[in-house]
Structure 1
Amino acid sequence: MARIFPIKGIMYNSELDNDLGKFLCPPFDVVDDNDKDKLYGISEYNVIRLENGKSFLTDDNDENKYTRSSKFLDEWLSKKVLVKDHEESLFILEEIFENNNKHIPRTSLICNVKVEDYEKKVVLPHEKTREKQKKDRFELMKNTKAVFSPIMSMIEDKNKKFMKFMQDEKLADPYISSEIPFMHKFNLWKIKDKDKISYVTSLIKNEKIFIADGHHRYETSLNYKEFDSKVDKRIMNIFSSHDNGLLLFGYSRAIKNLNKKNLDDLIQELSNKFSIKEISWNESLINWNQSTQEIILMEYNDKIFTLDKGAETISTYEKLHSVFDDLLGKENVINHIEYIHDNVSLKKKIKNNEIQLSFSMNALSKEYFLNCVSDGKLLPPKSTLFYPKLPTGLVIQYLYE
């Protein structure tokens, strides 16, 4: 049974500054050093200082990015830059973003969710995690006693009642409207009515919650619950799978640092496992626009090829990664693959000879994703990109509210 709860959140004080978008940032794992510099420059109160602040060579156990985050949080609360809500609420978030020159809305519910072990099959993962990222997030939670970045999740919502509930709530004037630099516009509605909270809680209780983005953060919350059993809830944004604005993209795979023998062996093994055909650059655009999940486009030696896996039920991602694992070894693959989500960056790396060959494929369908994850299947790394990433810092979860 999925259990959701209203939240007594910490939020930026709109009475001091109603342009809240400039205080928000993307999740920690997609912010590089250049992005961090830009976010630091936008506002001295941008949440990047709390979520993933800068590190310095002089850092030690007593002074580091985690202790600074804790100090910033206390200072901003003291200055009323951030304010604690004294009543429990749910929130409806509508984001309006641009994709292919179209403005697309999507809607989610912000709430606390009971942290459950995966074995209970209430919260379902789809990818493996790494200890380094979880250790980083744990140190941040332990020092700040807060969570700044929500987990993106989804329920199947077969009867669409959950989606209708959110659409109905959006008929009222929003509580907050703003625009996030480098990201998108958003509207936020606050739900305090206990009957409405009870109703939407009942809608979700028989659903499974699929993690779309935030596996490291969720598993960090599992670890924190072991550290302190009182902390058994985690802030999430929950989407309906029927929301057409919940876009699912894929990542390209870029291969690098292979010696000639390994590269030749890889090409040979791909020839054994896939039907490979060289095509022209113009044909590649047609193939890409018309292809399904069955087709991979491979770029190698300034040539384009299609790789067709045939009628097997296994996804292109799984079959391709089985070749990588067999040839390079599961533990070694990470040293030779770079995951790239936009074609501009991919083309730049190809032009600069930073990579040896690349594989591009269409995203998994939501239906395939839901079926796989429901069956307990873990997908290969970076099989999904739910676009765009959620903003960090809109509603902050205090762990001991």
Structure 2
Amino acid sequence: MVEINPFRAYRYNDNKIKEISDVIAPPWDVIDKSLERHLTESSPFNIINLISKSYTPHNVKENFNKWITDGVLTQDEEDGFYFMKHNFKWMEKDFTRKGFFAILRLEDFKTGKIIPHERIFENYSINRYQLIKTCKANFSPIFMLYQDTSFTVEEIMDKTPLTSIGHTADKEMFEFGRILNNKDIQSIKGTVSQGNLIIADGHHRYNAALRHYIDHPTPENSFVLVFMVNINSPDVLILPTHRYIPSGVSFTASIDTFRRYFHIREAADLKTISDTLNGEKSNAFGVYENSRFYIITLKNINDVKEHIAGNFSDKWITLDTALLHEFVLPYLFDRQPKEIIYHQQPEYLMDEYKKRNSGVIFFLKAVDKQHFIDISFNKELMPQKTTYFYPKVPSGLVIYKFDEQ
């Protein structure tokens, strides 16, 4: 069983911060220089000052402590869970993702209670480790998924009064509130503790917190800030991350090899690729090279299996990202590229291609949610950037300072 608890969060003081939207930010690893500049200009107290790699952990600690001393951040007097209803639109459809902030007892992955779902970039964890070690706080939550077909927690959130309404950096509205009723708290704890949890987003932060606890195994270091969402909710949205390989590979030069395994047809434009992939059930990619678009669809997965090194399940092999990284790149291209640029927006990668005028772009479709669940609970790590849970959970709504609980 996993253990989650309510806590006394540090939050922005309403008397000092009039608009919460001015001080929250996306997670640090998706903030580019332009957005960081915008966030910094929006308020001198924006959470970007505590999560950006631009600041040393020592600088962050000084800022954090000063904000507490000056009353910019204040700690709640009662333990509670904090919930957020995030309203957003995708492909002309409205969504409301409901989740809650809690603290989670850290567990080694070997216990099977906490399930990572994809491989990580190790140097990212090192950066977050130093921040945790120095500040003794979590400024951004780890996005966790639990399973509950009865939707118990959602019912509690819906009946609990809101305390504030705001907007994210993407102008999406959210509603925020606190769950303080002990009966509701115990109900939530009982619901979530019954099963294992999947890390949706924040693998590096979880790794950093776990390593910090292993290095410094004291009670106050044994919990980490999380945002919990029910995977059974229809409002959990997974988007793809596309790949641009700037050099070292050519699709057109290898097209005869590709034809042995893929059906290949040209596409008119990016919209055609997007529309086709959205409705495609079999393994397929969009490809762009030299001003031409292609759609390639796998002929037979059984022809591929013998060329994929490692002991993987059939479900894992049929991931588009697995097919790309474990078959297309090492076997059809005979190499693993030194550089891959990842992005959720195809247009961004098209602009990058125009700057370099070389390489190949692979456009992917989103992984099916049940496919994701099956592979995760089978304890198989997916290739990096297989999933993009949209939207990202904002940083700054709650802060967990774990030396004062």
Q: If the length of structure 2 is used for normalisation, what is the TM-score?
A: 0.89
Say if 2:138 and 2:399, in contact at 8 Å, map to a contact too: yes
Task: Quickly say closer, same or farther: Cα 1:6–1:354, change in 2 above 3 A.
Answer: farther
Task: Quickly say closer, same or farther: Cα 1:390–1:286, change in 2 above 3 A.
Answer: closer
Task: Quickly say closer, same or farther: Cα 1:235–1:286, change in 2 above 3 A.
Answer: closer
Match of 2:373 among 365, 370, 375: 370
Distance (Å, rounded) in 2 between the aligned partners of 1:388 and 1:84 = 27
| 1:300 is aligned to 2:303 | no
RMSD: 2.2
Match of 1:352 among 351, 355, 359: 355
Distance (Å, rounded) in 1 between the aligned partners of 2:99 and 2:265 = 43
Bigger mean CA deviation after superposition, 300-309 or 90-99: 300-309
Per-residue CA distance 1:262-300 (angstroms, 9 max, x = gap) = 767754543343332334448545523422352211122
**1:250 aligns to what?**
240
**1:325 aligns to what?**
330
Per-residue CA distance 1:28-58 (angstroms, 9 max, x = gap) = 1011222111111000000110111535xxx
**1:179 aligns to what?**
167
| 1:236 is aligned to 2:226 | yes
**1:61 aligns to what?**
none
Match of 1:135 among 97, 112, 126: 126
Task: Quickly say closer, same or farther: Cα 1:392–1:284, change in 2 above 3 A.
Answer: closer
State the one-letter code of the partner of 2:168: I
Match of 1:165 among 139, 150, 153: 153
Aligned ranges 1:334-345 → 2 under 5 Å: 335-345=338-348
Match of 1:111 among 102, 106, 118: 102
Distance (Å, rounded) in 2 between the aligned partners of 1:215 and 1:293 = 28
Match of 2:390 among 375, 387, 392: 387
Say which SS state the counterpart of residue 299 (structure 1) adopts.
strand
**2:179 aligns to what?**
191
Task: Quickly say closer, same or farther: Cα 1:285–1:226, change in 2 above 3 A.
Answer: closer
- Deviation at residue 102 of structure 1 after TM alignment: 4.3
Say if 1:293 and 1:362, in contact at 8 Å, map to a contact too: no
Aligned ranges 1:197-212 → 2 under 5 Å: 197-212=185-200
Distance (Å, rounded) in 1 between the aligned partners of 2:334 and 2:107 = 33
- Deviation at residue 374 of structure 1 after TM alignment: 0.5
Distance (Å, rounded) in 2 between the aligned partners of 1:354 and 1:234 = 44
Say if 2:152 and 2:188, in contact at 8 Å, map to a contact too: no
Say which SS state the counterpart of residue 91 (structure 1) adopts.
strand
**1:38 aligns to what?**
38
Say which SS state the counterpart of residue 170 (structure 1) adopts.
helix
- Deviation at residue 366 of structure 1 after TM alignment: 0.8
| 1:222 is aligned to 2:227 | no
- Deviation at residue 390 of structure 1 after TM alignment: 0.6
- Deviation at residue 107 of structure 1 after TM alignment: 0.4
Q: If the length of structure 1 is used for normalisation, what is the TM-score?
A: 0.89
State the one-letter code of the partner of 1:202: G
Task: Quickly say closer, same or farther: Cα 1:360–1:192, change in 2 above 3 A.
Answer: same
Distance (Å, rounded) in 2 between the aligned partners of 1:285 and 1:34 = 27
**2:60 aligns to what?**
69
Task: Quickly say closer, same or farther: Cα 1:137–1:315, change in 2 above 3 A.
Answer: same
- Deviation at residue 237 of structure 1 after TM alignment: 0.8
Aligned pairs, number: 385
Per-residue CA distance 1:342-375 (angstroms, 9 max, x = gap) = 1221232234345522111210111000000111
Say which SS state the counterpart of residue 11 (structure 1) adopts.
strand
**2:280 aligns to what?**
291
Say if 1:255 and 1:337, in contact at 8 Å, map to a contact too: yes
State the one-letter code of the partner of 2:206: Y
- Deviation at residue 75 of structure 1 after TM alignment: 0.4
Task: Quickly say closer, same or farther: Cα 1:25–1:286, change in 2 above 3 A.
Answer: closer
Say if 1:293 and 1:364, in contact at 8 Å, map to a contact too: no
- Deviation at residue 7 of structure 1 after TM alignment: 1.3
Task: Quickly say closer, same or farther: Cα 1:79–1:220, change in 2 above 3 A.
Answer: same
Task: Quickly say closer, same or farther: Cα 1:265–1:233, change in 2 above 3 A.
Answer: farther
State the one-letter code of the partner of 2:329: F
| 1:152 is aligned to 2:143 | yes
Distance (Å, rounded) in 1 between the aligned partners of 2:21 and 2:2 = 31
Distance (Å, rounded) in 2 between the aligned partners of 1:289 and 1:174 = 36
Match of 2:399 among 380, 396, 399: 396
Distance (Å, rounded) in 1 between the aligned partners of 2:53 and 2:265 = 48
Task: Quickly say closer, same or farther: Cα 1:123–1:286, change in 2 above 3 A.
Answer: closer
**2:264 aligns to what?**
276
Say which SS state the counterpart of residue 396 (structure 2) adopts.
coil
**2:111 aligns to what?**
120
| 1:54 is aligned to 2:54 | yes
Say if 2:346 and 2:363, in contact at 8 Å, map to a contact too: no
- Deviation at residue 208 of structure 1 after TM alignment: 1.2
Bigger mean CA deviation after superposition, 209-218 or 85-94: 85-94
Distance (Å, rounded) in 2 between the aligned partners of 1:343 and 1:399 = 40
Bigger mean CA deviation after superposition, 122-131 or 175-184: 175-184
Bigger mean CA deviation after superposition, 109-118 or 291-300: 291-300
Distance (Å, rounded) in 2 between the aligned partners of 1:15 and 1:27 = 25
